Amino acid sequence: MDLDALVGRRQGEWRRLDDLSRRRRLTGAQADELLEGYQRAATDLSVVRSTAPDDGVVRHLSMVIGRARGRASRVPTFSWVGIGRFLAEDFPAALYRLRWWWGITAVVNVVVGLALGWWLFHNPVVENSLISAEEVDQLVQSDFESYYSEHAASSFSTLVWVNNAWVAARCIGMGVLGFPVIWLLWQNIANVAIIGSLMHRHGRADVFWGLLTPHGLLELMAIFVAAGVGLRLFWSWVAPGRRTRLASLAAEGRTAAGVALGLVLVLLISGVIEGFVTPSPLPTWARVGIGVLALLLFFAYALILGRRAAQAGVTGDVGRELQADVAPTAG
């Protein structure tokens, strides 16, 4: 074998392989090229060692192959920079882009909840068919208020956080089917409306709003966001636009997954408020003020920071280098 001829033919490929190995990010095509180049270079090294061993060539090829192997097998690691970029750009941009979906979802649910509560308040016979008089008295006089203080604040916050995160995850996960999201929303808003009408009728409206508002504003908004994103996921394959149904669903699915991760943090904040602020001895105006402030900060985060990120070209989807390759289709 003519070693010089081999080096002359392959040197460009080895240089390209080394260049790909040094890059921090690779597209799908570049990742495939890296693996193919690694296999060819490993074959070249085997041939050189067995037929025309040369220390310089063997050493150079070994370094190139070792670097390529490390790059090909690299596992993404924890990065504060990546987390910061997600919280400052990706998550708020996704919220901003999907603002009409979760905004309309929130408005419709609030209107339906208030209307249902008003109707139940003026039609007590309906509630009497759902719950006994003894259970009503127990709920109004004791259970509703003690619910927020019967457990230690830390464990209660964790329990609430996990439960609400599960509800949000179901809204997003089942969003692809559409109707289950509407059913979950109905169950949630009907439960709040029933309890609210009972508390109002028995003169405990101040207790109801004083305990629900501090954490409920942010908590319910997070659920509405999850539901809105879930419904957008459903609509992505019903009306995909210029994309194929699969491509549309994949793009919205990636965004929905990012929103789900962000909502875990939002619900953690509401859980902390519910565990430590709602049952606290602070005056009602202070507790309610904290709840209103938390909601306003969320709106500022989603609409102001999100708008800024969206104008910079951030969509909430992962970068192209992390998206799966899509087979070409006929135009």
31: CB partners within 8 A, 6+ apart: 72
- The whole-angstrom separation of Cα 310 and Cα 303 is 10
CA 244-247-250 angle, 5° bins: 145
194-216 residue pLDDT tens: 999 999 988 999 999 999 999 99
Q: Which amino acid is at 182?
A: I
Nearest to 292 by CA among 212, 239, 214: 214
Q: Per-residue pLDDT for 15 more than 70?
A: yes
**Mean pLDDT over residues 55-71, rounded?**
83
Does this model's pTM top 0.75? My answer is no
Percent of the chain residues past pLDDT 70, beyond the cut: 92
**Taking the mean position of all CA atoms in its chain, how far away is CA 161?**
15
- Both tokens of residue 5? 């001829």
Q: Which pLDDT score, from 0 to 100, does residue 291 have?
A: 95
- Please count the other Cβ atoms lying within 10 Å of the Cβ belonging to residue 268: 18
How far are the Cα atoms of 61, 146, 247, 265, 296 from residue 268, in angstroms, in the given order?
A: 51, 21, 32, 5, 17
Nearest CA to 221 out of 77, 109, 56 is that of: 109
* pLDDT value of residue 327: 42
Question: Confidence class of residue 76 from pLDDT cuts 50, 70 and 90?
Answer: low
The helix-helix angle for 153-173 and 179-201 (nearest 10°) equals 140
Helix (H, G, I), strand (E, B) or coil at 258: helix
Digit-coded pLDDT (tens) for 290-304: 999 999 999 999 999
21 versus 227: the higher-pLDDT residue is: 227
